[in-house]
Amino acid sequence: MTQHILCGKKSQITFQTFLSGTPARDYVFQQIHYSEQIKQAAKLIKEADYMLIGAGAGLSAAAGLTMGGARFTDNFKDFIEKYGGPYMRDMYSAGFYPFPTEEAKWGYWSKSSMVNRILPGVLPLYQQVYRLAQKKNYFVLTTNVDHQFYLAGFDDKKIFATQGDYGLIQCRRGCHPKTYDATKLFRQMDQAREDCLVPSYMVPKCPVCGEPMEMNLRSDQYFVEDESWHNAERRFGEYLRECEERKTVLLELGVGFNTPTIIRFPFEKLVREHKNMSLIRLNLEEAVIPEAFGVRAMGINEDMVRSIGDLLKEVMHDDTE
Ligand SMILES: [Zn+2]
């Protein structure tokens, strides 16, 4: 018997207690027509006072921040030529390349941050998600590290980005619980980079222990959860407590099965345990939902540029009636 996420009125809900590793056993695809799926999902949004958004890599990919294809081969041509091999297939794999020096490591990561975090600006799909959420009491839980929710207008205090940020760096050994904004440094590196390398004097060192720095991306046990991370965790826990008593729609966007324990399974658990909660799952290929949820869940297997656009139209249409 697993513990309920919200059980125990007094206890604080932490990121750890929220996580769940239990997949549903009764996944089904929706059988009704797409336009009817949109109508039913819009109804769930309309009925809700609270909207908890859970967003994964699929949302950013749909918004345009794809990790492979032309975005990779156009922006990383020099890196592909210099390093080649199995790592240089896309930006995800390239991040795991065993760069031989700090100059090489920051040569790559400064470029990656430029392409994914600093240069894109706010993307229209994220702005549409904001329009869906803005009239609700919303909260965002995301594994995305590209900062798009902040850019799209969401309140900083209502975002919990659990896995880090492409614009932040930390001590490689996590010797002190702080992160540092590196966007200015990355712009300078981008200007100075030659042959995929940054000059030695630009390589950042930990101000406390002198060790090399690292991207603030969750990849090992040294990932730094700084003060603002813990504040976001606390606010997220408090928000979940409020949801217990309210009509809440969980809007899950582009969360696949790579790390389903952070958003996908906990969302299902919440809906399973709370009759006042419903689930909308938007996903290009994996929008299966537990059959037992009945009309309290809607999975829409479609490109999110289309489904979010149509959902927004349907919700706005209802608003003007
Ligand atoms: Zn250190």
Question: What is the 196 CA–ligand 1 centroid distance (Å)?
Answer: 26
With 50 as the cut, is the pLDDT of residue 321 above it? Answer: yes
72 domain residue, yes or no: no
Assess whether 299 and 236 both reside in one domain. Answer: yes
Assess whether 188 and 299 both reside in one domain. Answer: no
* pLDDT for the residue numbered 1: 44
Assess whether 294 and 246 both reside in one domain. Answer: yes
**Helix ranges restricted to H, 121-226:** 124-133, 148-151, 183-192
Domain boundary among 217, 235, 252: 217
273 domain residue, yes or no: yes
Assess whether 179 and 115 both reside in one domain. Answer: yes
Q: Exposed, middle or buried: residue 51 (CB in 10 Å: 0-12, 13-18, 19+)?
A: buried
Instruction: Give the H/E segment covering residue 278.
Output: strand 277-283
35 domain residue, yes or no: yes
Q: Mean pLDDT, the chain, as a whole number?
A: 94
Assess whether 136 and 211 both reside in one domain. Answer: no
Assess whether 201 and 211 both reside in one domain. Answer: yes
Assess whether 302 and 185 both reside in one domain. Answer: no
Question: What is the 132 CA–ligand 1 centroid distance (Å)?
Answer: 42
The pLDDT confidence band at residue 319, using thresholds 50, 70 and 90, is: low
Residue type, 59: L
69 domain residue, yes or no: no
Question: What is the 6 CA–ligand 1 centroid distance (Å)?
Answer: 36
pLDDT digits (tens, 9 = 90+) for 81-91: 999 889 999 99
Question: What is the 262 CA–ligand 1 centroid distance (Å)?
Answer: 28
75 domain residue, yes or no: no
Give the mean pLDDT of 118-130: 97
Q: What is the DSSP letter of 143?
A: -
Assess whether 39 and 187 both reside in one domain. Answer: no
Question: What is the 174 CA–ligand 1 centroid distance (Å)?
Answer: 6
**Of the candidate ranges 3-17, 38-52, 185-199, 292-306, the one whose mean pLDDT is the lowest:** 3-17
Assess whether 187 and 290 both reside in one domain. Answer: no
The domain that holds 100 is classified in CATH as 3.30.1600
Domain boundary among 183, 217, 251: 217
Domain boundary among 189, 217, 245: 217
Assess whether 141 and 275 both reside in one domain. Answer: yes
Question: What is the 105 CA–ligand 1 centroid distance (Å)?
Answer: 18
Structure tokens at 66: 């794809």
7 domain residue, yes or no: no
Residue 196 phi, psi dihedral angles, 5° rounding? 70, 10
Assess whether 194 and 109 both reside in one domain. Answer: yes
Question: What is the 209 CA–ligand 1 centroid distance (Å)?
Answer: 4
Range of the domain at 230: 15-62+122-163+226-320
Question: What is the 179 CA–ligand 1 centroid distance (Å)?
Answer: 11
Assess whether 176 and 33 both reside in one domain. Answer: no
pTM surpassing 0.85? yes
198 domain residue, yes or no: yes
Question: What is the 223 CA–ligand 1 centroid distance (Å)?
Answer: 12
The pLDDT confidence band at residue 21, using thresholds 50, 70 and 90, is: confident
Rounded to whole angstroms, the maximal C-alpha distance in the chain is: 62
70 domain residue, yes or no: no
Residue 166 CA to residue 161 CA, distance in Å, equals 11
Sequence-ordered list of residues with C-beta below 8 angstroms from that of 63, at least 6 positions apart, any chain: 123, 124, 125, 126, 148, 304, 305
The domain that holds 280 is classified in CATH as 3.40.50.1220
**Domain count for the chain:** 2
Residues that place a CB less than 5 A from ion ligand 1: 171, 175, 206, 208-209, 211
User: With pLDDT > 90 as the criterion, what percentage of the chain qualifies?
Assistant: 87
